[in-house]
A and B are shown apart, each in its own frame.
Chain A
Amino acid sequence: ILNVEQSPQSLHVQEGDSTNFTCSFPSSNFYALHWYRWETAKSPEALFVMTLNGDEKKKGRISATLNTKEGYSYLYIKGSQPEDSATYLCAFPGNQFYFGTGTSLTVIP
């Protein structure tokens, strides 16, 4: 069993604030790192698949960076909006997808 950890567990920010959270994963035998966004009562939606050390990916106001040598990825949200409220999951493919427990983000209008 691989250990994929996310922090913080939950986060409350004001609308307009920028925020970031972390996913830590084993640095050995790295293959890829996935980020998902999971809104309540919906299914997880893929945000990014990151494969290269130093990778930076962006989708609108959301971006992610990857450090495979030290085993972490950051997800950044610039100018948070209420519709960004969701749980953000990272997943590390090994023999299966190992999911972190997620960071629950609430953006307060």
Chain B
Amino acid sequence: NAGVMQNPRHLVRRRGQEARLRCSPMKGHSHVYWYRQLPEEGLKFMVYLQKENIIDESGMPKERFSAEFPKEGPSILRIQQVVRGDSAAYFCASSPTGLGTEAFFGQGTRLTVV
């Protein structure tokens, strides 16, 4: 059973481009969480999704950021018109049944905006 897979591991984008980050949860997990780690800071919640539904997006900036978790395929975190301040490590985690159960993290995608 493969763990949570995130790709790409490293992504470089120029200011104004779009960044797409993918997260494939563990097999059987229908709950996905996205977190951002800014330099010198801890993990900050962005969004919590359950298959095809956004449960909580209170941590996600209202402009330029969106997330989806379609019925088939990975969860996608999309950042439009990236700015230098978006440079960070983005982690996703998955769990089988929601917040009371253990969440497993992916290796993260390190986004650098130049």
A residues near B (Cβ < 8 Å) are: 31-32, 34, 36, 42-46, 49, 51, 89, 91, 93-102
Contact = CB atoms under 8 A, between A and B. Distances in A.
Nearest to B101: A49
A56 B91 CA distance: 29
A32 B100 contact: yes
A95 B101 contact: no
A90 to B, nearest CB: 11
Contacts of B25: none
Interface string B1-20: 00010000000000000000
12 contacts: A31-B99, A34-B102, A34-B103, A44-B93, A49-B100, A49-B102, A89-B42, A91-B103, A95-B58, A96-B33, A97-B48, A101-B41
Given A31-B99, A44-B105, 14 more contacts: A32-B100, A43-B4, A44-B91, A46-B102, A49-B101, A91-B103, A95-B56, A95-B58, A96-B56, A97-B33, A97-B45, A97-B103, A100-B42, A101-B41
A59 B60 CA distance: 35
B43 A96 contact: no
A96 B45 contact: yes
A31 B43 contact: no
Select the residue from A43, A91, A102 with max chain B CB neighbours within 10 A: A43
Nearest to A99: B43
Contacts of B42: 89, 99-102
Nearest to B98: A93
A24 to B, nearest CB: 15
Contacts of A51: 100
Given A89-B42, A93-B99, A102-B42, A45 B56 contact: no
B100 A93 contact: yes
A11 B45 CA distance: 25
Select the residue from B33, B43, B107 with max chain A CB neighbours within 10 A: B43
